[in-house]
């Protein structure tokens, strides 16, 4: 559930800022896929 919420937030931020923050969103998405437990830890 927490992973899904974070993924939705990343997608929404990508929609809000399609130009400036796209690189950051891609990095966050890559890290989210690669290190999901780290993001679960950050959310708590």
Is this prediction's pTM over 0.75? no
The answer to whether the CB of 9 falls within 8 A of the CB of 43 is no
pLDDT at 1: 56
Q: What is the pLDDT of residues 1-44, one digit of tens each?
A: 577 787 777 777 767 766 666 677 777 777 777 776 766 666 65
6: left (phi over 0), alpha (psi -120 to 50) or beta: alpha
Q: Count structural domains, the chain.
A: 1
Domain assignment of residue 28, given as a range: 2-43
């Amino acid at each position: 559930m927490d992973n899904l919420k974070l993924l939705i937030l990343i997608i929404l931020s990508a929609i809000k800022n399609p130009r400036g923050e796209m690189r950051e969103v891609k990095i966050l998405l890559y890290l989210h896929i690669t290190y999901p437990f780290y993001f679960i830890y950050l959310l708590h």
